[in-house]
Chains A and B, each alone.
Chain A
Amino acid sequence: MGLGGRVHKYGDHVDTDVIIPARYLTTSDEQELAAHCMEDLDPEFANQVQSGDVIVAGVNFGCGSSREHAPIAIKASGISCVIAKSFARIFYRNALNIGLPIMECPGFVDGVEAGDEVEADTTGGTVRNLTRDGEGTFPPLTGPAAELVAAGGLVPLVRQRLNAEG
């Protein structure tokens, strides 16, 4: 599957408090969350993000809280995928669970700058920087993570399982 768009570039340890501050956690409405996405790190993000855009970041993206509001806000803002050097584990699980594509590509990130056009081929396992001619690969998901993505997320996967059990 092909995804891609304009890059929003961030550094290391982008934590869930800057992705969606706790003052907004008394709602779970996707559009309200999207309106405040990345607010304390990049106040212009919510205004400037366009559907299909990509977040590219350093190590440990999504560290901190387990708040699922974080990947929800990112996905609802129109971001098509997040490419990072590494992901914090709860954010990683949450993103797969809700169908936000995430890719670990440590070698690719440093060559990308804000505003570049980047595309990702999740089937082939490659990412490409169309502005600067960079390329990277990421390993295919295995085991339960692969099943999750194939099912379209954890809700459909569990629904299938519960239906099968009758």
Chain B
Amino acid sequence: MAGMTITEKLLARASGRDSVRAGDFVSAKLTLVLANDITAPIAVRGFRKMGAGRVFDRAKIALVADHSTPNKDIAAAEQVKVMREFARDQEIVHYYETAAGIEHILLPDRGLVLPGDCVIGADSHTCTYGAITAFSTGVGSTDCAAGMATGECWFRVPETLKFVFEGSPQPWVGGKDLILYTLGQIGVDGALYRAMEFHGSAIRSLDMAGRFTMCNMAVEAGGKNGLVPFDEVTKAYVDQRASREYVVLDPHADAEYAHVYEWDASVIEPQVAVPFLPSNARGVSELKDIVIDQAVIGACTNGRIEDLRQAAAILRGRKVAPRVRCIIIPGTHDIHLQATQEGLVELFLEAGAAVSTPTCGPCLGGHMGILASGERAIATTNRNFVGRMGHPKSEVYLASPAVAAASAVCGRICGPEDVK
């Protein structure tokens, strides 16, 4: 019998079984259940209708106000209020709002997700935590409610796709470029219902920020979850933050994968996904004369200190082009503070960028930088569907912080090598 993939091992562990196979149904015990201000109100409604009195474990739930916050209007304020009152009523340990941050950066940084864990979140980018070799997947509000009530969630064990990136990435090429390249190769349903494991020397060379970025966008390929095998980089990140034991699960040497992709990372240039699919990846050198109105640097995909440092490396001593609205959003309050202490905020302001308090904001077309009809943005966010950042007749191009910052300076889409 073949060995297990990382996901098979994680779901076996979570469901108390010695082994599972792709296609099996399991009921997994959850380490963490999360929701945000957009998804919590429906989850709370479902929780009450289920007749659940108390949540299964008030220390295993995280509620984060990040999408429409700081409260963008009365409706948003009322939604956050529903979540806040539920958190108080249930004595939820991990409730975050102002002075906290974007959930998918905040929760791992606070040590709430560890290797071996099993996490569901009422947010599609919950797959981000696979970078810490945990099983982590997005669900809807009602699945979240059931998770809060019972501490369990059913899954069909997915097949796994293995992606092996060998070679040294070119300068400025990081996790965002590698995941956009992957999406370009397999399409937005290329990993439908599957787990994605990222292997190879190029992946191992990524810092945690780059690994989080890659796993963050597993959902954009239709993936159930994304994973990076545990190594010394993971260990260094996790050991600084863990306040409980964790379990490291590696794939068996004879694990069965539905398909193995092997790519040479050294030939990949910085990538840009053009409208209106995240899979429309192009090398940045292919894009000429695409004038932009806005550049957004931030989001759960690329809002970490490493992402801000990459943007700063481009913006240092330069100015944002006069026609461009450059909006930089540190992912958490701690990152905002660190960016301030490192002088990055001053650098961004001197370059002519706006620096925002942490929020999802413009990523989903909520607030803090919405596009008008006919406008075009380059963003370090994760989706560029029609109307994603505002008017249905606006456009979003997806890229890394380096490409977004370079484009902000040039006033048109360009790579870091093109900036004078």
Q: Does B140 contact A (CB under 8 A)?
A: yes
Chain B residues 372 to 392 lying within 8 A of chain A, measured CB to CB, are 383, 385-388, 392
Specify which of A18, A21, A93 is in contact with B143 (CB 8 Å cutoff). A93
Most chain A CB neighbours (cut-off 10 Å) among B68, B126, B142: B142
B386 near A18 with CB under 8 A, answer: yes
Q: Does A80 contact B (CB under 8 A)?
A: no
A66 near B366 with CB under 8 A, answer: no
A7 to B293, CA, bound (A): 39
A144 to B152, CA, bound (A): 13
Given contacts A17-B364, A66-B123, A162-B50, 7 further A-B pairs with CB under 8 A are: A15-B385, A21-B365, A27-B75, A66-B140, A88-B189, A89-B224, A159-B51
Contacts of A123 in B (CB 8 A): none
A41 near B386 with CB under 8 A, answer: yes
Task: List 23 A–B pairs whose Cβ atoms lie within 8 Å, in order of A's numbering.
Answer: A13-B277, A15-B383, A15-B385, A15-B386, A18-B387, A22-B38, A23-B366, A25-B364, A25-B366, A28-B41, A28-B42, A40-B392, A63-B189, A64-B385, A69-B42, A86-B192, A90-B124, A144-B154, A144-B156, A154-B46, A155-B142, A158-B50, A158-B52
Q: Does B313 contact A (CB under 8 A)?
A: no
A161 to B388, CA, bound (A): 39
Query: Looking across the interface, which residue of chain A has its beta carbon closest to that of B51?
Result: A159
A13 to B385, CA, bound (A): 10
B140 near A93 with CB under 8 A, answer: yes
Chain B: minimal CB distance from A90 (Å): 6
Please give the residue numbers on chain B whose beta carbons come within 8 Å of chain A beta carbons, in ascending order.
25, 38-39, 41-42, 45-46, 49-52, 67-68, 72-73, 75-76, 78-79, 122-124, 126, 138-143, 145-146, 149-150, 154, 156, 188-189, 192-193, 219, 222, 224, 277, 364-366, 383, 385-388, 392
Contacts of B387 in A (CB 8 A): 17-18, 21, 40
A158 to B143, CA, bound (A): 10
Query: Looking across the interface, which residue of chain B has its beta carbon closest to that of A87?
Result: B192
Query: Looking across the interface, which residue of chain B has its beta carbon closest to that of A154?
Result: B142
Chain B: minimal CB distance from A73 (Å): 12
Contacts of A69 in B (CB 8 A): 42
Please give the residue numbers on chain A whose beta carbons come within 8 Å of chain B beta carbons, in ascending order.
13, 15, 17-18, 21-23, 25-28, 39-41, 59-60, 63-69, 72, 86, 88-90, 93-94, 97-98, 143-144, 153-155, 158-159, 161-163
B124 near A65 with CB under 8 A, answer: yes
Query: Looking across the interface, which residue of chain B has its beta carbon closest to that of A98?
Result: B142
B51 near A94 with CB under 8 A, answer: no
Contacts of A27 in B (CB 8 A): 75
A162 to B151, CA, bound (A): 12
A26 near B386 with CB under 8 A, answer: no
A88 to B219, CA, bound (A): 9
B46 near A17 with CB under 8 A, answer: no
Query: Looking across the interface, which residue of chain B has its beta carbon closest to that of A69?
Result: B42
Contacts of B364 in A (CB 8 A): 17, 22, 25, 65
Contacts of B46 in A (CB 8 A): 154-155
B385 near A17 with CB under 8 A, answer: yes
A60 near B188 with CB under 8 A, answer: yes
Chain A: minimal CB distance from B129 (Å): 15
Known A-B contacts A13-B189, A27-B75, A88-B222; the reply to A22 vs B142 at CB < 8 A is no
Contacts of B189 in A (CB 8 A): 13, 59-60, 63, 86, 88
Query: Looking across the interface, which residue of chain A has its beta carbon closest to that of B154?
Result: A144
